[in-house]
């Protein structure tokens, strides 16, 4: 089991390393955004930033000699920018702290996989309520005025309704470390609606790996990470585990 999981998670780990131009560490004298300034002003956040930089350096070392380095860098660019975009929506210290801790947790876990220290599934996992319940992800499209003016009247009406452009709902159940779930994915301005099922196995008290299957056919690999009891990170990769596809920070239903 250990060897099998390490085999498909190894390229997944490589896909989560960082590009030099997107490194977490930055000179505080050059901090320009509100988030960067807050990180520099808060010792706890600065420490998390330093820890993340070290994990990225470790991940980057794993690319040495990798024949797919160029391709992985391209995948990495998308992955890293996605996280930075999410981080840059934070408006306070707590949000930034959670964002960094979630990213650190994922990198450390995947780095361990690359080092072939992936544990066997824990026989008696501690029940984590994070793996039970209803979660949702909503993305609201925001367009510059020029792009909005170019929309047809139909799409302007849809946009003005401020309905979610991208909506994902998932319901999870867990028993003795085995996680099952079902959900749906919808795009507001398209007709595509996909029903999904998923299954995963807890590897630690806060992380699980498994697969998801689409109603259109085909399977994808996924990594579940409990950020806290109200937030669950779902990272989806292609069937080979080589390309990052989606990264949803799901919020528990009220």
Tell me what the mean pLDDT of segment 51-78 comes to.
67
pTM: 0.51
Q: Looking at per-residue confidence, does 23 or 62 come out higher?
A: 62
The span from the CA of 125 to the CA of 155, in Å, is 48
Half-sphere exposure of 194 (CA within 13 A, CB side): 18
The 10s digit of each residue's pLDDT in 167-215 is 888 999 998 888 999 988 877 655 557 888 999 988 888 888 888 888 8
- CA 253 from chain centre, in angstroms, equals 19
pLDDT at position 113 over 60: no
**Cβ partners under 8 Å of residue 200, min gap 6:** 178, 179, 208, 209, 210, 211, 222, 224
In the block, which residue shows the tokens 């085999």?
7
Q: Domain 129-252 belongs to what topology?
A: Lipocalin (2.40.128)
pLDDT of residue 24: 43
The span from the CA of 242 to the CA of 10, in Å, is 9
Domain ranges of the chain: 2-114, 129-252
pLDDT at position 17 over 70: no
Average pLDDT, the chain: 73
pLDDT of residue 6: 35
pLDDT class for 72, splitting at 50, 70, 90? low
Q: Strands, DSSP E only, in 40-177?
A: 133-139, 166-175
Question: 167 pairs with which residues across the strands?
Answer: 138, 186
Joined tokens for residue 85: 């975009």
Are 225 and 102 a contacting pair, CB within 8 Å? Answer: yes
**Cβ partners under 8 Å of residue 193, min gap 6:** 184, 185, 186
pLDDT of residue 216: 74
């Amino acid at each position: 089991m250990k060897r099998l999981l390490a085999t498909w998670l190894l390229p997944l780990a490589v896909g989560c390393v960082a590009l030099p131009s997107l490194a977490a560490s930055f000179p505080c004298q050059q901090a320009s955004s509100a988030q960067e300034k807050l990180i520099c002003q808060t010792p706890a956040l600065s420490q998390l930033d330093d820890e993340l930089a070290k994990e990225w350096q470790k991940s980057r070392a794993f690319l040495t000699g990798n024949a797919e380095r160029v391709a992985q860098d391209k995948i990495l660019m998308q992955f890293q920018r996605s996280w930075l975009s999410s981080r840059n929506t934070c408006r306070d210290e707590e949000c930034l702290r959670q964002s960094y801790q979630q990213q650190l947790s994922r990198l450390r876990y995947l780095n361990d996989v690359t080092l072939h220290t992936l544990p066997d599934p824990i026989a008696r996992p501690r029940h984590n309520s994070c793996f039970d319940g209803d979660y949702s992800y909503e993305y609201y499209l925001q367009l510059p005025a020029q792009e909005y003016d170019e929309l047809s009247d139909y799409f302007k009406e849809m946009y003005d309704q401020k309905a979610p452009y991208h909506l994902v709902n998932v319901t999870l159940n867990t028993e003795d470390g085995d996680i099952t779930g079902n959900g749906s994915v919808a795009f507001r301005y398209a007709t595509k609606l996909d029903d999904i099922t998923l299954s995963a196995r807890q590897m630690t008290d806060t992380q699980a790996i498994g697969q998801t299957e689409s109603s259109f056919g085909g399977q994808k690999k996924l990594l579940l990470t409990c950020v806290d009891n109200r937030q669950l990170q779902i990272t989806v990769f292609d069937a080979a585990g080589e390309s990052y596809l989606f990264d949803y920070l799901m919020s528990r239903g009220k």
